[in-house]
Amino acid sequence: MKSPKKILVIHGPNLHLLGRRNPSVYGRTTLNAVNQALRQRAKELKVTLTILQSNHEGEIVDAIGASHSRYDGILINPAAYTHTSVAIRDALESAALPAVEVHLSNIHARESFRQQSLMAPVVSGQVSGFGAHSYLLGLEALHGLLTNSGHKR
Amino acid sequence: MKSPKKILVIHGPNLHLLGRRNPSVYGRTTLNAVNQALRQRAKELKVTLTILQSNHEGEIVDAIGASHSRYDGILINPAAYTHTSVAIRDALESAALPAVEVHLSNIHARESFRQQSLMAPVVSGQVSGFGAHSYLLGLEALHGLLTNSGHKR
Amino acid sequence: MKSPKKILVIHGPNLHLLGRRNPSVYGRTTLNAVNQALRQRAKELKVTLTILQSNHEGEIVDAIGASHSRYDGILINPAAYTHTSVAIRDALESAALPAVEVHLSNIHARESFRQQSLMAPVVSGQVSGFGAHSYLLGLEALHGLLTNSGHKR
Amino acid sequence: MKSPKKILVIHGPNLHLLGRRNPSVYGRTTLNAVNQALRQRAKELKVTLTILQSNHEGEIVDAIGASHSRYDGILINPAAYTHTSVAIRDALESAALPAVEVHLSNIHARESFRQQSLMAPVVSGQVSGFGAHSYLLGLEALHGLLTNSGHKR
Amino acid sequence: MKSPKKILVIHGPNLHLLGRRNPSVYGRTTLNAVNQALRQRAKELKVTLTILQSNHEGEIVDAIGASHSRYDGILINPAAYTHTSVAIRDALESAALPAVEVHLSNIHARESFRQQSLMAPVVSGQVSGFGAHSYLLGLEALHGLLTNSGHKR
Amino acid sequence: MKSPKKILVIHGPNLHLLGRRNPSVYGRTTLNAVNQALRQRAKELKVTLTILQSNHEGEIVDAIGASHSRYDGILINPAAYTHTSVAIRDALESAALPAVEVHLSNIHARESFRQQSLMAPVVSGQVSGFGAHSYLLGLEALHGLLTNSGHKR
Amino acid sequence: MKSPKKILVIHGPNLHLLGRRNPSVYGRTTLNAVNQALRQRAKELKVTLTILQSNHEGEIVDAIGASHSRYDGILINPAAYTHTSVAIRDALESAALPAVEVHLSNIHARESFRQQSLMAPVVSGQVSGFGAHSYLLGLEALHGLLTNSGHKR
Amino acid sequence: MKSPKKILVIHGPNLHLLGRRNPSVYGRTTLNAVNQALRQRAKELKVTLTILQSNHEGEIVDAIGASHSRYDGILINPAAYTHTSVAIRDALESAALPAVEVHLSNIHARESFRQQSLMAPVVSGQVSGFGAHSYLLGLEALHGLLTNSGHKR
Amino acid sequence: MKSPKKILVIHGPNLHLLGRRNPSVYGRTTLNAVNQALRQRAKELKVTLTILQSNHEGEIVDAIGASHSRYDGILINPAAYTHTSVAIRDALESAALPAVEVHLSNIHARESFRQQSLMAPVVSGQVSGFGAHSYLLGLEALHGLLTNSGHKR
Amino acid sequence: MKSPKKILVIHGPNLHLLGRRNPSVYGRTTLNAVNQALRQRAKELKVTLTILQSNHEGEIVDAIGASHSRYDGILINPAAYTHTSVAIRDALESAALPAVEVHLSNIHARESFRQQSLMAPVVSGQVSGFGAHSYLLGLEALHGLLTNSGHKR
Amino acid sequence: MKSPKKILVIHGPNLHLLGRRNPSVYGRTTLNAVNQALRQRAKELKVTLTILQSNHEGEIVDAIGASHSRYDGILINPAAYTHTSVAIRDALESAALPAVEVHLSNIHARESFRQQSLMAPVVSGQVSGFGAHSYLLGLEALHGLLTNSGHKR
Amino acid sequence: MKSPKKILVIHGPNLHLLGRRNPSVYGRTTLNAVNQALRQRAKELKVTLTILQSNHEGEIVDAIGASHSRYDGILINPAAYTHTSVAIRDALESAALPAVEVHLSNIHARESFRQQSLMAPVVSGQVSGFGAHSYLLGLEALHGLLTNSGHKR
C-alpha cells in the first residue's frame, strides 16, 4: 500500500554452518543460498530484508530490541534458542511486531526437548519441517500478515 | 514434470462451521471460501485437489487408507483429532505419502493439550497460525515436496 | 416467556445398554425409562426435547454442529467421550448454546482417568453421581439457565 | 414417609460474603437469600434444615462429627476446603450419612488446583456451576437419596 | 461340550491394510490370510467365528454392545484404539464376555504412548508381538477360557 | 532419673469418634479406652501425661507452641493433618522436643495422599498400623528417647 | 493526602514464638520487637496499624473477611498457611484491598513445598528473605501502593 | 526341520509356591503340574526343555548368560523381577536368542508398578493373563518363532 | 495361649555391619547386641526367635517362602531392599503370616527414594526411627498381633 | 560505619526498553528514571552505585565475576535470565557478596516458568511486584544487610 | 609413599560376557583382556588389584562389606546394578573407602533409565563412555585419590 | 602416527575464577595451574592444545563452529552451560569431532538440575568428580580416541 515493508530476518545459533552439518537432517543448502532465495522472493513481494545471523543470545535480543521503529515484521529461526531463551521471547513480545517462527526440521517430530517452543506464544505463527523452503513460506506468511490484515496475533 | 500431481485435502471435525464459530479465534472466512482459494492456487500450481470434510475419525481413516495409489500427497487439518487420534496417525504412516499438517490457529500458543500433535512424527512438516492462509502455505509446501525432492521425511 | 424452549438431549456411547450393564454401578433403570422421565419433566417445565443416543463421536459432533439455530440448550451425558473427545468439546464451544453435563456415577470418585472432563471448561455446569436422577436435575438446571438469566457461562 | 428428614447444610469459608465479592464469578445473591430459598424449597420437600456457615475447618469437622444421630443427610459447599481438607473428608466419611457436595462455580473449569475435590470420593454426588441454583438442585438430589433409595454411595 | 462356542473377532483401525503397510514392523501377511488361518484353526477347535474390521470407533462399540447374547467370547485387536478409546473399554466391560486382546507387534517395546492399554483392565489376557501368530494364540487362549473354566477375569 | 517426665499427648481431628466410625479400619476401641491404656502404661513407666483431642489445626498449633517449657516430649497422632498441615509441622520443629508420630492404620498402605507425612522430617520416629496398640508402642518409644539418650533426632 | 491510611497487619501461625525458635533461620528478634518497629515506621509514614497474630486459619479468614470497609490495605506474613490455605487466598481475593506478602526467610531457597505461594496470585507483591526487615520493607511497599497509585494489581 | 530345538524355561521368584499362594489370583495349579504340561506339549512340538526355578536374580542372570550356545530359545516368567531387574534384561539382550515372556496374571490390569516390564523391549513377545495356560501359549509362540521365521525381534 | 509362638527375624543387606558404619545415622549398637536384646525380650514374651541376616535378595525370598508352616510371624528390617524388591514383597504376601517392618532410621525423613516402602502394603505395620529400639518395639507389636487378635491386616 | 559501601546494580535483558514495552505489565517509568531514583536514594543512604544493563548473559557473568573485591553488594534484576541462567547463579555464588534479587512484576503470579528463580538459593532475599519501586526497596534491603549484620545468607 | 595401595576391582552383572555381546555397543575386548590391561597398569602405578566379577547383587554387597580393612579403594563397574541397587550403594557408603565408578558406554546418552546412577552420590567420581579404556582411566583416577589427597569426597 | 593431533580445550563460564571460589567444592587449583598441567601432559602425549575460557555461550558456539577443519578433537568443561545450552550441544554435534566432557565436581551427586547433561548424547564420554585431575584424565581419554580408534561415538 505504502512504502515497501521492511523485514528483519534472524538466523539463530549454528545456522552459519547450514549445508555443512548433518546434511541428512538439514539438507545441503547453505545459508548463503537461503539468503539469496529470500532476497529473490522479497523482491517479488516488494519487501526489503535485513539479515542477521548470530550465535549470541544477547545479540539477538539487542537486534530485536532495536527493531521496533525500524522494521515492520520479523522472520526468525531461533534454532537452539527456541527451547531455552526466555530473553528472546521477551524481546519479541516487547517489539510488538508481527513475527513468524520458522524451522528447517520438523521440530515436533524430534527429541522431546525440541518439541516445546518458548517463542510460540509470542509469534503469529510457525512453519516447520520443509528445510530451506520453510524460510520462503515463512516470508510469504509474514508478508500476508503485513499487507492483508496488519498485525493479527 | 509428469501428469499433474493429485492431492487429497482433509478438513477435520467442526471445520464445516468455519467462519461461523469463534470468529475472534478462527476469522470469518468460510470453508467454502477456503476451498475456493485452494482450488484457485491448485490451478496455478497445476495440481488437482480432492477435498473431504468429516467429523468422523473413522471416515478420515478410511479416506487416508484408500489414498495410497490414488493421490500423490495429503494436506490435512486434523483439527481436534490432532491431539487424540492415534488411528489417523497410523493411517498417515501407512499411506506413506508426503503429508503436510496445517492449523488455522497457532496451536503452540493455546491450551497445553493442544500443543502436542500426534501427527507431527509422521508428517513432513507443519504450518500453523495464519488462519485460512495456513492452507495455501501448506499446499505450496506440499507442492514443493512433490515436485522438488519427492518425499523427504 | 416466549415459545417453548427446545432442548437437545445427547446420550453418549454405551448408554443404550443402561440398566442392562453393571447395575451395581449404574442402577437398573433403562434408557427408555430415563427418556420417559425426562419427557415427563419436560412437559411440566414446558420445554420440548429431542433425544439422541449414539456410540459414534462423529455423529455427536454432527448433531451439536447442527444445533445452533434449532435448539436453545444442550443436555449431554458424554459418557466415555467425556475424557477423550476434543472434537465434542470444540463442537460444544462452537454451538455457543447453554449446555449442562450430566453423569450417572460420581466420576470424581472413580479411576483417575475419569476424573478429568474435557467438556467442563465449555459447559455451564455439571451434575454427577445421582444415577438417572442426574438427568432430571440437569434438565432443571438447564431450564433455570434458559429462563432466568439467559446463557451465563 | 415417616417423620420429616433432617438435613445439615454447611457453607464453607468466605461464603458469608456471598453476593458482596467477585459478583462476576459468584453472582449477586447473598447468603441470606440462598438460605431463604433453601428453606422455602425445604418446606415444599417437607424436610427440615439446620444451617451453618464457618470459616474454621475445625468447626466444620466438629459439626459433621456431631451429625450422626441428629441428621439424615448433609448438604455441603466446602468452598476452599474442598481442595485442602482431609479432615473434613474424614469427618464426612465417619458420619456415614448421605452427603451432596455443591459449588457455585463450575470448579472443573477453573484453576487446576480447584479441579480436584478431596470430598468427591466420600459423597454421593456433586452439583457445580449453577450459582445459587446449585444449592437447590443439591437439596433436591439429597432429598431423592433420602426418600427413594436410602443412602446409595 | 455343548453347541459350538461363537466368537466375535474384531480387527481395529488400519488393519484392512495389513501386509501392505510397514512390512518391516507388521510382516507381509494380509488380513485375508489372517482370517483364513483363524477360520482354519476355529474349525479344529470347533468354534464359529464372526469377523469384523472397522476403522470406526463407534461401529466397534456398536458391535460389542450387540454381542452379549449372540457370542460366547471376543477376540479383539483394538489397534490404535487400544490407547485412546474409553468407549470401547466401557463396551467390553458391559459385554461381560470373556475377551482376549491381541497385538501384532510387541506394543510394550514401542513408543511410550503405545505401552499403555486402556483395554487391559477389562480383558482376561493379552498376547502381543508374534505377528499374525498372535491371533491364533489369542484364539486358543480364548478357547481355553470358554471350555475349561468359563469366564475367569 | 530425676522428676517424672511430662508428656503431651495429642489426638488429631475425628479421633474423638474412635471406635464409632469405620470399625473395619480403625477397630472398636474408643478414645477413652485408648487414654486409659495410655495412663496405665504411663504409670508403669513413671511418666505423667496431658492429653488433648482437637479437630482444630490452630488449637493443636497453640498447644505445641506452649509446650516448650512444660513438657519433655510429645506423642502425636496428627490424623488428617498429617498430610496437610505445614503449621503443625512448623510448631513441632519450633518446640524442639522429642516427638513421636503414631497412626492407627498403616498409612503407607492406604491412598497415595495418605502415604506422605509432613511431620516425618521433624519427629524422631513413627509407629503405624497396630490400631490402638500403636499409641502404647509410641509411648514406649518416646520414653526410651527421654530416658536413654535424650533427644536424638 | 486524606485521612491516615489504615493497615491490617497479620502474622500467621507460630510467629508468636519469633525470636525463640530456630534463631539460626529466623533470627533473634521477637514478635514484640517487630511490632514496635512496625509501629515506629507507621508513625513516620503516617499510617495506622491494627495487628493480629493467630495460629488459626479460620480466624485469619474471619479477619480478612471483615477488613473490607475498615482498612485500606493488608500486610500479611501467612507463614505455614502460605503453602496450604486456599481459604486465606480466597479471603484476600474477596477483600479486594491492596495486599503485600512478606516472609522472614527466603522461601524460594527452602524446601520445595515452601517455594510455592498460594497467595502470590492475589497479592500485589512479595518481600522475602530479610528477616524482620522484610516487614518494614513490606510496609513501605504497601504505603507506596496506597499513596501513589492506588490499588494496582 | 533339523535336530530338535532346545528351550530354556525360567521360572522367577516365588513361583515354586505356585498353587499354594493367593489361589484367587494365581489359581491352584502347582509348578510341578505346569512343568508336566510343558513337557507334554514339548514332546508334541518335538522340542526339548531345560527348566529352572530360582528366587535369585544372579542365578537367573548366570543361566541366561550361559545359554547362548546351548539353547535355541528362552521361555521366561520373570515374576517380580519383570519390574526391577535391569540385569536380567541385559542378560536376555546379550543372549541374543528368541525369548518369550509369560505371566500368569494379566499384569497390565494390576498395580501400576506391575504394568511396566523391563523385559519387554528385549523379548519377541509376551503372553499374560491366562494362568498356567500362559506357559503353553508362550511355548507355542516360541516354537513358532524358532521353526517358522528364525529370530524376528 | 498355646505352644510358644515362633518368629522369624530377618535382617536385610549391610546390617551385619551395624554399629560399624555411619554411627551418626545408625548408632553404635552392633547386630549381635541387637540380637541379644531381641532374644532377651523374646524370653520375656515367651516367643522363640530364628534370626537370619543376608545381603542376598534371593536368600531372603527363600527364607520367607519356607516360613509358612514353620513360623507364626515375621519381623523384618528389609534395609535397602525395602525400596527395590518386589520379590520380597511378593514372598511376604505369599507367606500370609503377620509381618512387621522395622527401620533403624526414620526413613520418611531421608532421601525421597527411601520414603517409599514396597513392603508397606503387605505388612501389618511399621516402626521406624528409634535405632535398635525399633526392633524391640516391632517385636512387641508382632507379639500383640499374634496373641491378641491373630492376623489382622 | 567506614568508607561508603559500593553496590553493583545489574539490569538484565530487555530492561533498556523499560517504559516503552508492555506498559500494562511493567508501567511507564523508563530505565533512566529508575536509575535516577536509585542514585537519589543511594545518596541518602550514603552508598555508591555502579549500574550495568546488558542483554548478554556472558557480560553479566563477567561483571559479577569481576565484582568480588570491587563491590560490597549486588542488586540484580536478572529479568529473563532469572529462569534460565545457571551461569549467572554460579557467578553470584562465587562472588560471595550479599545480593538482592528484584523483579518489577510479581513473578510468582505469572506463567509457571516464571515462578521458579534459579537465583533464589544464592541470594539473600527477593522483592517482587512493585514496579520500579521494587528497586528502591531492594536497595534499602541490601543496605540493611551491609550495614546491620554483614552478609547473612 | 608407604606399602602398595590395595584396590578391589568389581565387575557387575553380565560383564563376564564382555567382548562377546553387543560388540557394536561394548566393543570386542574381553573381560580377560580388560583385566590384563588393568594388572599391567597397576604394576606401573605400584598398586595391587583383587578382581571380582559377579552377577549376584548379594555377592557384591558381601565383597564391599568385607573390604573395609583389606583395601584402600574400590574401582567398580556396577553395570545393570548402577540403576537398581540401593544395597550396593549402601555398602559403598558403609565401606567408607575412596571409590570410582566406571562405565564402558556413555550411560548419559542411553535409555533414560540408564541415565540415573544410584551410586553417584556415594562415589568420588565417574568415568564413562570410553569402552575398556574407562577402566584404565578410572584406575588412574583412583590412584590419584589414594596417593595425592587421601579420600576426598 | 602422523602430524601431532590438535585439540581445542574449552573452559566454560566462571572457570576463570577457579581456585578462588568455593574451594571446599572445587579445590584450590587455579585455572592457570590446570592449563599448565594440561600443556605438560599434552607435551608427553605429543598433542598440541589451544585453550579458550569464556563466560559467553555465543563465543563457545563460535569456537566450536570454527573448529571443524582446525582441530582433531575437543576437550570441554561446559560448566553451567552443561545443563542449559542446546546451542553448544548443537555446535558439538555439527563439529563432528571426537569430544570429551569433563567436570571438576561429581555432577551426578549434586542438585538435581546439575545431574542432567545436555552434552552427554553428543560427546564420546565423560569424566567427572576428580577436581583438576578430571581434565588430565579427559585429555588422556581423548588422546585414546584420536590415536587408537579414531572417532567412535
pLDDT digits (tens, 9 = 90+) for F71-100: 999 999 999 999 999 999 999 999 999 999
Q: How many CA atoms lie within 13 A of J5 on its CB side?
A: 27
Is K66 in the I-facing interface, judged by CB distances under 8 Å?
no
Whether residue C81 lies in the annotated active site: no
Cell numbers representing residue E137 in the block = 494364540
pLDDT digits (tens, 9 = 90+) for J46-64: 999 999 999 999 999 999 9
pLDDT level of residue L2 (50, 70, 90 thresholds): low
Is E58 in the H-facing interface, judged by CB distances under 8 Å?
no
Instruction: Quote the CA–CA distance of L35 and D72 in Å, as a whole number.
Output: 82
| Interface contact H61-K14, CB threshold 8 A | yes
Instruction: Quote the CA–CA distance of B53 and C65 in Å, as a whole number.
Output: 13
Instruction: Quote the CA–CA distance of E34 and E102 in Å, as a whole number.
Output: 13
Instruction: Quote the CA–CA distance of C131 and I28 in Å, as a whole number.
Output: 62
Find out whether H100 and K24 touch, Cβ atoms under 8 Å: no
pLDDT at C133 exceeding the cut of 90: yes
Query: Which of C14, C22, C30 to mutate: most E Cβ within 10 Å?
Result: C14
Cell numbers representing residue K52 in the block = 571380582
% of chain E surpassing 70 pLDDT: 93
Q: How much is the pLDDT for D127?
A: 98
Specify the pTM: 0.94
Instruction: Give residues 86 to 115 of J whose Cβ lies within 8 Å of G.
Output: 106, 108-109, 115
Cell numbers representing residue F48 in the block = 505423667
- The answer to which of A26-30, B23-27, E87-91, G70-74 has the lowest mean pLDDT is B23-27
Is B130 in the A-facing interface, judged by CB distances under 8 Å?
yes
Q: Give the residue-averaged pLDDT of H73-84.
A: 97
Cα G8-G14-G20 angle, rounded to 5 deg: 115
The catalytic residue among I26, I71, I81, I135 is I26
Instruction: Quote the CA–CA distance of B118 and B78 in Å, as a whole number.
Output: 10
% of chain F surpassing 90 pLDDT: 80
pLDDT at A129 exceeding the cut of 90: yes
Chains contacting K (3 or more CB pairs within 8 Å): H, I, L
Contacts of D134 in chain C (CB under 8 A): 125
pLDDT at J149 exceeding the cut of 60: no
Closest CA to B55 of C70, E85, C60: C60
Nearest Cα of chain I lies from the Cα of H19 at a distance, in angstroms, of 11
Q: Give the residue-averaged pLDDT of H79-97.
A: 96
**Higher per-residue confidence, C21 vs D6:** D6
Q: How much is the pLDDT for E2?
A: 66
Q: How much is the pLDDT for L148?
A: 74
Instruction: Quote the CA–CA distance of K16 and B24 in Å, as a whole number.
Output: 67
Q: How much is the pLDDT for A2?
A: 65
Ramachandran bin of L28, using left for φ above 0, alpha for ψ from -120 to 50, beta for the remaining angles: alpha
Cβ within 8 Å of residue G116, ≥6 positions away: G83, J115
Q: Give the residue-averaged pLDDT of B43-52.
A: 97
Look-up of cell digits 513460506: A137
Closest CB to H58 among K57, K83, K84: K57
- The answer to which of B90-104, B132-146, C1-15, D13-27 has the lowest mean pLDDT is D13-27
Residues in chain A: 153
Size of interface A-J (CB pairs under 8 A): 59
Q: What is the pLDDT along chain G (153 residues), one digit of tens a residue?
A: 568 999 999 999 999 999 877 777 677 899 999 999 999 999 999 999 999 999 999 999 999 999 988 999 999 999 999 999 999 999 999 999 999 999 999 999 888 889 899 999 999 999 999 999 999 999 999 999 999 743 333
pLDDT digits (tens, 9 = 90+) for H12-22: 999 999 987 77
Q: How much is the pLDDT for D112?
A: 86
pLDDT digits (tens, 9 = 90+) for I72-106: 999 999 999 999 999 999 999 999 999 999 999 99
Nearest Cα of chain F lies from the Cα of D74 at a distance, in angstroms, of 17
Q: How much is the pLDDT for F68?
A: 86
Is D116 in the G-facing interface, judged by CB distances under 8 Å?
no
Domain boundaries, chain B: 5-147
**Higher per-residue confidence, E26 vs J90:** J90
Strand ordering across the sheet containing C99-103: C47-53, C5-11, C73-77, C99-103, C125-128, D125-128, D99-103, D73-77, D5-11, D47-53
Q: How much is the pLDDT for C23?
A: 75
Q: Give the residue-averaged pLDDT of H103-131.
A: 93
Q: How much is the pLDDT for J2?
A: 66
Backbone angles phi, psi at D65, to 5 degrees: -60, -30
**Higher per-residue confidence, C99 vs K29:** C99
Q: How much is the pLDDT for K2?
A: 66
> Residue E20: is it exposed, middle or buried by C-beta count within 10 angstroms (0-12/13-18/19+)?
middle
Q: Give the residue-averaged pLDDT of H62-88.
A: 96
The catalytic residue among E71, E81, E103, E143 is E103
Q: How much is the pLDDT for K3?
A: 82
**Higher per-residue confidence, H80 vs D19:** H80
Residue ranges for chain I with pLDDT beneath 70:
1-2, 25-26, 149-153
Is L79 in the J-facing interface, judged by CB distances under 8 Å?
yes
pLDDT digits (tens, 9 = 90+) for L28-77: 889 999 999 999 999 999 999 999 999 999 999 999 999 988 999 999 99
Find out whether A94 and A62 touch, Cβ atoms under 8 Å: no
Is F55 in the D-facing interface, judged by CB distances under 8 Å?
yes
Contacts of B65 in chain E (CB under 8 A): 14, 16-17, 55
Find out whether B5 and B49 touch, Cβ atoms under 8 Å: no
pLDDT at D50 exceeding the cut of 60: yes
pLDDT at A18 exceeding the cut of 90: yes
Whether residue A143 lies in the annotated active site: no
Q: How much is the pLDDT for K152?
A: 38
Query: DSSP assignment of G60-107, as one string?
Result: HHHHHHT-TTT-SEEEEE-GGGGGT-HHHHHHHHHHTS-EEEEESS-G
Backbone angles phi, psi at I117, to 5 degrees: -105, 120
Q: Nearest-CA residue of chain A relative to J21? A: A94
Secondary structure class of I6 (helix, strand, coil): strand
Find out whether G104 and G26 touch, Cβ atoms under 8 Å: yes
Cβ within 8 Å of residue A60, ≥6 positions away: A10, A12, A52, A54, A78, A81, A85, A88, A91
| Interface contact D133-C141, CB threshold 8 A | yes
Strand ordering across the sheet containing H99-103: E47-53, E5-11, E73-77, E99-103, E125-128, H125-128, H99-103, H73-77, H5-11, H47-53
Q: Give the residue-averaged pLDDT of C12-31.
A: 85
Contacts of E87 in chain C (CB under 8 A): 12-14, 55, 57, 79-81, 84
Query: DSSP assignment of D92-133, as one string?
Result: HHHHTS-EEEEESS-GGGS-GGGS--SSGGGSSEEEESSTTH
pLDDT at F148 exceeding the cut of 80: no
Q: Which CATH class is domain F5-147?
A: alpha beta
Is A147 in the B-facing interface, judged by CB distances under 8 Å?
no
Q: Give the residue-averaged pLDDT of L125-151.
A: 89
Find out whether H126 and H103 touch, Cβ atoms under 8 Å: yes
Q: Give the residue-averaged pLDDT of E128-139.
A: 97
Q: How much is the pLDDT for H69?
A: 87
pLDDT level of residue F150 (50, 70, 90 thresholds): very low
Q: How much is the pLDDT for D48?
A: 98
Q: How much is the pLDDT for K25?
A: 67
Instruction: Quote the CA–CA distance of L21 and I80 in Å, as a whole number.
Output: 37
% of chain E surpassing 90 pLDDT: 80
Contacts of F137 in chain I (CB under 8 A): 127, 137, 140-141
Q: How much is the pLDDT for B24?
A: 73
